[in-house]
Amino acid sequence: MRLRHLVLATLLAVSPALFAQSPVWQPPANLITLRLWPHGAPGEPAHPAPEANSFVSHLVAGRHYIRLTNVSNPTLTLYPAKGHNTHTAVLAFPGGSYKILALNIEGTEICHWLNSIGVNCILVKYRVPNSGPYPQHAAALQDAQRAMGLVRRHARAWHINPHRIGVIGFSAGGNLVAQLSTHFQRRVYQPVDAADKLSCRPDFAMLIYPAYIPQPDNLNEARPNFHVTPNTPPSFLVQAEDDPIHVENSIDYFLLLKHAGVPAQMHIFAHGGHGYGMRLIHRSVSVNDVNPPSPRPLPITHWPSLAATWMQSIGVLK
């Protein structure tokens, strides 16, 4: 008994900071993982802070989610399609306000869904927190452009059709998808190797509750750096009207696409909030209900099936 008390006292004496971080996320050992920058990412310090999983008590659908931060050595990880391979690929960009990466709820879980419909998924661990929306910050867009070039360079070896490579992004990742979709004419970094000679234009794009698209002082007008042209890839957008990040993020981008003649499909739902990924969310039940109904999944929960149908309609799920 005295030994147990001693162990407990020792644990309580340990700095709380040790409990604020969980072990660093590592991709499964059986999957291909590549560093985006063989000689270090542009502008990164020689001795960066170590990556960390920032722990918070917030739950989504009753489960915690990874909040990876201090990413200075970005990577991509290939999640190959299971069973039937459509030879289509999608690069997944998790969100997190350009400060953290919600790496499982908006990353690995998305890859597992894409794999289940025959799509190869490439999870991109891009730089945070010293990044942000382009053009104020270039790091994340540099990583996205570089990742797309690398995937096209390895397309044959990875059984991917280089003309059916799309992107999906959530929140800040949705912003990054919009940036990549409108800034592919030239690299925003000095070319490194042959991968940078290949196109970094996505063949299609999916923006799930995107952020940082409207002007800060005018939600009804997109920021001027989104140069949407007829060559911008066809896009799929999903957002909830009650999203605290503002549904105008999707609406403003959709209107840019519409005016440029770019095929686009948008789904706006009444309820859903923000940051749910693919996890099941329910209608709220009032505490004043005498006989409250059983929780029911919100309609927005079905966005993956809508996205899969859209991918079929544009011919990338053959």
Residue spans of the domains in the chain: they are 28-281+294-313
pLDDT single digits (tens) 143-201:
999 999 999 999 999 999 999 999 999 999 999 999 999 999 999 999 999 999 999 99
Q: Which of 184, 31, 29, 38 is nearest to 120 (CA)?
A: 31
For residue 23, the model assigns a pLDDT of 54
Average pLDDT, rounded, for the chain:
90
| Residue 292 confidence (pLDDT) | 65
Per the document, the length of the chain is 318
Whether the pLDDT of residue 291 is over 80: the answer is no
DSSP-derived secondary structure for 252-270: HHHHHHHHHT--EEEEEES
d(CA 158, CA 120): 9
pLDDT in tens, 200-246: 999 999 999 999 999 999 999 999 999 999 999 999 999 999 999 99
Are 84 and 163 a contacting pair, CB within 8 Å? Answer: no
Alpha-carbon gap, residue 172 to 211, rounded angstroms: 5
Chain segment 114-128, per-residue pLDDT in tens: 999 999 999 999 999
Are the C-beta atoms of residues 219 and 279 closer than 8 Å to each other? no
Name the more confident of 7 and 67: 67
Alpha-carbon gap, residue 138 to 98, rounded angstroms: 12
Q: Is the pLDDT of residue 11 over 90?
A: no
* Residue 162 confidence (pLDDT): 98
At residue 297, the pLDDT reads 87
pTM of the model: 0.90
The CATH homologous superfamily for domain 28-281+294-313 is: Alpha/Beta hydrolase fold, catalytic domain (3.40.50.1820)
pLDDT, position 111: 98
80-101: per-residue pLDDT in tens? 998 899 999 999 999 999 999 9
Give percent of the chain with pLDDT exceeding 70.
88
The conformation of residue 201, written as its DSSP 8-state character, comes to -
- Residue with the bigger pLDDT between 284 and 277: it is 277
Give Cα 299 to chain centroid, integer Å: 21
